[in-house]
Chain A
Amino acid sequence: MRLNPKISEKIAFALIGVSISIVIFAVTVILYYIISNGYSAISWSFLTEMPRSRMTEGGIFPAIVGTITLIIGSMLAALPLGILAAVYLNEYSKPGRFKWTVEMAINNLAGTPSVVFGLFGLALFVRYFGFGPSVIAASLTLAILVIPVIIRSSQEALLAVPMEYRQASLALGITQWQTVKNIVLPAALPGIVTGSILSIGRVAGETAPILFTGAAYFLPRVPSSIFDQFMALPYHLYVLATSGLDITGTRHIQYGTAMVLLLIVLGVNSIAILIRRHYRKKLRL
């Protein structure tokens, strides 16, 4: 017996409807639990105080500062390298073996597990360069993690700049670098900024790469130099939830930390999306 095509279409669409509902449900449940429980934990003192009583009371100030330090450190290293690499790949190099190899490397680095980057940071920065577990070792490890992300998004932004801009500039006898610097990069800037902001979200949330490169279990102060250890939000959450002194008693601190982390990452991502939307409208006009 063959099913009537109309009926089988109805069954199929109903199943697809169920499936997309499950996906929406999953997102909603996760956000609901974190936000509804985290909301009450957050207060001004929670954000600005040091942890107290062996991290069972008090705030998460050093973890917030640590995460911001990591963002700044890794971006200082990754942004110039990533953007310049994208400029070369898009504006200078011709299709060929070199470009193919670079693109293969980008794809593979983007898919390499974050814990492998952690091992690499431990072997290269902590041990080989002798930085020890420190802000600089963790920042450089995170920089290496996001360089492929920045290259990719900057390449996309450069690709979106119309060819005519370059041709007009070159036709006036302006050199290629001047064209890139004065014409192409300014036009691609919104796209590049969007990509960079998205990579900030990634840096803020990563835990595995900083586990062995400098994150401290407990450190009641902000890092004083780039060779100091630090606390960071994601590691703080992990520690409190799995090996803290009072795991079930500090749930509110855990939810609060998760909420702050989520707010930073989603906030940063929304800013990126808004910038993208703003400039897309402008380009259409």
Chain B
Amino acid sequence: MVFKRQHKERLLESTLFIVSSITIIILFLICLFLFRDALILFRTESLIDFISGSFWYPTSEPPLYGLLPLLLGSLVVTFGAICISVPLGITSAIYISEIANPKIADFLKPFVEILAGIPSVVYGFFGLVVLAPYIQNLLDLPTGQVALTGSIMLAIMALPTIISISEDAISSIPSSMREGSLAMGATRWQTIYKVVLPAALSGISAAVMLGMGRAIGETMTVMMVTGNAAVIPGMPEGIVESVRTMTATIALEMGEVPMGSEHYHALFAVGSVLFIMTFLINLIADLIKNKYRFKLEGS
């Protein structure tokens, strides 16, 4: 009887073990299926042409699969988004955790969370019908569907990530550090600037990395507002021109390609590049976060 019960416990534990490895299995399967279909492209195309090619003309004769315009498109939009959302996000986090009185902070936190809940296609729709015409009029452009519009929308979408993780990092700073600084006669701003922010720096950097990962992987919004012209964006005027990101290319073209064609595999190759980039960004954010956890525990 006792033996039987132990047997059952063992069986349950090993079942649970197998279930819990599901995330590892999924990650493995994603790599397998993504890279498998991507590698088929390089039977006919050279890897160097793909990475350094500056033209994405999948329907021309012969087709050209150059990653560069798409990669740079993604980078321009993401860079713009980070320039807007990092200062806004970090200062908002400072306000919520250091300056606002607790009642206002309790209201602001779920308010910012609303942003995280809005579906990306709704952001895209808003960007398309409200922001793009506004940007077009404001800057007197031939079209409002440009990189800048995408950057602004992505910045808004990355805000909740950046604010909530930075805020966690700032609130985890022990209050004895603040009190020590204030007792020395420093103003509240000096305390925030010289004591709190440096101590929370690694947590804030992790927040920025995760916000960047979110921005670079966003699909529907950029596809709807950036105009999707697959040309290498100029510097600096590329910010007010149409660009096409890696994510938008996949989403736009995958529906129309014959399955198993060269173009199909090229899109998987773009997807693999995207996956590797976000994988690295997440890994770095993870490492930064762990480092900072050890530091606080050590002190």
How many residues on the A side are at the interface (Cβ–Cβ under 8 A)? 85
If A112-B30, A116-B275, A123-B33 touch, whether A87 touches B188 (CB-CB below 8 Å) is: no
Query: By DSSP majority rule, is chain B's interface helix, strand, loop, or mixed?
Result: helix
- B110 at interface (Cβ–Cβ under 8 A)? yes
Q: How far is the CB of A2 from chain B (nearest CB, A)?
A: 12
- Bound-state CA distance A262–B117 (Å) is 9
A212 touches B254 (CB 8 A): yes
Question: Which of chain A's residues have a CB closer than 8 A to the CB of B267?
Answer: 119
B33 touches A27 (CB 8 A): no
Q: Is the CB of A119 within 8 A of B125?
A: no
Q: With an 8 A cutoff between CB atoms, is B108 at the interface?
A: yes
The answer to whether B20 and A88 touch across the interface, beta carbons within 8 angstroms, is yes
Residues of B within 8 A of A118 (CB): 250-251, 254
Give the shortest distance, in Å, between B141 (CB) and chain A (any CB).
19
User: Roughly how many angstroms separate A84 CA and B17 CA in the complex, as a whole number?
Assistant: 9
Whether B217 lies near A111 (C-beta < 8 A) is yes
Determine the chain A residues whose CB is within 8 A of the CB of B259 once the complex forms.
127
The one of B30, B114, B251 in contact with A115, judged by C-beta atoms closer than 8 angstroms, is: B251
In the bound assembly, the distance between CA atoms of A127 and B21 in angstroms comes to 24
* Complex interface: chain A residues within 8 A of B279 (CB): 108, 111-112
Q: Indicate if the CB atoms of A27 and B114 lie closer than 8 Å.
A: yes
Q: Which of A44-52, A54-62, A164-172, A265-273 contacts B (4 or more CB under 8 A)?
A: A265-273
Q: Would B217 and A101 count as touching, CB distance under 8 A?
A: no
Quick check: which of A12-20, A183-191, A223-231 contacts chain B, the rest being far away?
A12-20
Contact of B128 among A19, A106, A241, A262 (CB under 8 A): A241
Q: How far is the CB of A269 from chain B (nearest CB, A)?
A: 5
Contact with B95, one of A17, A127, A176 (Cβ below 8 angstroms): A17
- A208-B220, A258-B125 known; A16 and B26 CB under 8 Å? no
Chain B residue numbers with a CB within 8 Å of A151 are 23
CB neighbours (8 Å) of A113 from chain B are: 216-219, 247, 274-275, 278
Q: Which of A221-261 contact B (CB under 8 A)?
A: 234-235, 237-238, 241-242, 251, 254, 258, 261
Q: Determine how close the nearest CB of chain B comes to the CB of A207; give it in whole angstroms.
A: 5
Given that A12-B193, A84-B16, A205-B121 are known contacts, is A147 also in contact with B216, CB under 8 Å in the complex? no
Measured between C-beta atoms, what is the minimum distance from A60 to chain B in Å? 14
**Known: A106-B23, A120-B30. Is A241-B129 also a contact (CB below 8 A)?**
yes
Q: Are B114 and A266 in contact (CB under 8 A)?
A: yes
Chain B residues, Cβ within 8 Å of A205: 117-122
Closest to A84 in B: B19
Q: Mark B204-235, 1 if CB is under 8 A from A, else 0.
A: 00000010011011111000100000000000
Q: A122-B254, A211-B251 are in contact. Are A147 and B26 (CB under 8 A)?
A: yes
Residues 250 to 299 of chain B near chain A (Cβ within 8 Å): 250-251, 254-255, 259, 267-268, 271, 274-275, 278-279, 281-283, 285-286
Min Cβ gap B66→A in Å is: 20
Cβ-based interface call for B159 (8 A): yes
By beta carbon, the residue of chain B nearest A205 is: B119
Which of B88, B163, B190, B216 has a CB less than 8 Å from the CB of A5?
B190
Whole-angstrom distance between the Cβ of A116 and the nearest chain B Cβ: 5
A107 vs B217: C-alpha distance in the bound complex, in angstroms? 15
A92 and B13 in contact, given A109-B26, A128-B33 (Cβ under 8 angstroms): yes
A119 touches B254 (CB 8 A): yes
Chain A residues within an 8 Å CB radius of B271? 115-116, 119
Q: B94 to chain A: closest CB distance in Å?
A: 6
Complex contact B282–A87 (CB within 8 A):
no
Tell which of A13, A15, A30 has the most Cβ of chain B within 10 Å: A30
Contacts of B268 in A (CB 8 A): 119, 123
Nearest-Cβ distance from residue A235 to partner chain B, whole angstroms: 8
Is the CB of A66 closer than 8 A to any CB of chain B? no
Q: Give the residue of B112, B188, B255 whose beta carbon is less than 8 angstroms from that of A212.
A: B255
Q: Sample 7 A-B pairs with CB under 8 A, ordered by A number.
A: A16-B94, A34-B122, A102-B24, A111-B278, A119-B271, A123-B34, A176-B9
- Not counting A84-B19, A208-B219, a sample of 11 additional A-B residue pairs whose C-beta atoms are within 8 angstroms of each other reads A20-B95, A88-B16, A92-B16, A116-B278, A205-B121, A205-B122, A206-B120, A212-B254, A254-B125, A266-B118, A269-B114
Q: What 9 pairs across the A-B complex have the smallest Cβ distances?
A: A205-B119, A113-B217, A9-B189, A88-B16, A88-B20, A111-B282, A19-B91, A105-B23, A85-B20
**B interface with A by C-beta (< 8 Å):** 5, 8-9, 12-13, 16-17, 19-24, 26-27, 29-30, 33-34, 36-37, 87-88, 91-92, 94-96, 99, 108, 110-115, 117-126, 128-130, 156, 159, 163, 186-190, 192-193, 210, 213-214, 216-220, 224, 247, 250-251, 254-255, 259, 267-268, 271, 274-275, 278-279, 281-283, 285-286
